[in-house]
Amino acid sequence: MSTNLRVTVLRGGPSAEREVSLAGGAAVAAACRRLGYHVTESDIAPDDLSGLDVPADVVFPVLHGQFGEDGRLQAILEQRGLPFVGSDAESSRTAIDKDASKRKWQSRGLPTAPWVLIDESTDLATASLPPPPVVLKPLCEGSSIGVQFCTTADTLRADAGRAVRQYGAVLVEQQLHGPELTVGVLESRALPVIEIRPNSAFYNYEAKYRRDDTQYLFEPAIDERTYALAQKLAVEAFQALGCRDYGRVDFIADRESGLHLLEINTIPGFTDHSLLPKAAARAGIAFDDLVRRLVNMAHRRKE
């Protein structure tokens, strides 16, 4: 495929994950230049789409969270007939919505932790919630933003109420105990499994992007059967939501009940801390080759 492609890299955006997007987008743009592409970088937002007016053969979104992974940007790109890297608008809308994605997985018989969705209409005084310990998760945020652990029944309803007031809709999910795993998916094939061991209470934003003491283990503390099952479930979860090109699927390997799907990331990070590039490298796919493959996937849809 020609190296003379015009590639627009979208980065930044309005979400709470802007800092990560700027760094990852810069890395993707640098790789595109090394590959010989003609690169335009655009810091895009819902009220400023001027970056899309630049002629491009492929658009490479590296935006996370709201307006990055929620389907709005993808819908605009589809309406304009612009080939782009990553999942389409419909699958993006489903994947960012933790309740919708878990329901889809549950309907396919895929394992996911028990949960209840609450919002402003929920009467928390009478609502039936999973017993603590639970995890409170904003419905449509990424990078562990807003995630809170609640270990006692005394504080659960008050904590849930505060989370709803801040984020609008929140999952109350049964907390699982065991290794946290992530599996990258590239062209519907699973990459090597990574176990995440943060040197903090949990794998939060700080541990993901700013700390250097989080361990990423390519020899996770699971047996061979669980390893193979994690790869199989990652691909099934990816396909169940209609995702395409690439993504990253997160699990907990609970010590008693086994693997459970947590969530899927349709635009994984591209920073030096990011897990999908690490897994690709482990599989023998260098960063520039990963970017080239993704650009080619999108460009083939144009042809």
Q: Is 250 a catalytic residue?
A: yes
Strands 189-197 and 215-217: antiparallel
Residue 168 CA neighbour count, 13 Å, CB half: 4
Residue from 244, 245, 250, 274 carrying the catalytic annotation: 250
Q: Is 263 a residue of the active site?
A: yes
Is 248 annotated as catalytic?
Answer: yes
203 is catalytic: no
**Beta strand pairing call for 6-11 and 38-43:** parallel
In the set 209, 227, 246, 292, the catalytic residue is 209
Is 161 labeled as catalytic in the residue annotation? no
Concatenated DSSP letters of 208-276: HHT-S--EEESS-SS-HHHHHHHHHHHHHHHHHTT--SEEEEEEEEETTTEEEEEEEESS---STT-HH
User: 143, 184, 195, 244: which one is catalytic?
Assistant: 143
Q: What is the largest CA-CA distance in the chain?
A: 62
Catalytic residue among 42, 92, 101, 265: 265
Asked if 257 is an active-site residue, the reply is: no
Out of 13, 17, 101, 292, the active site residue is 17
Catalytic entry in 51, 65, 68, 269: 269
> Is 201 within 8 Å of 250 (Cβ atoms)?
no
Question: Which one of 142, 263, 274, 292 is the catalytic residue?
Answer: 263
Q: Is 265 a catalytic residue?
A: yes
Active site residue 17: yes
Q: What positions carry a catalytic annotation?
A: 17, 143, 209, 248, 250, 263, 265, 269
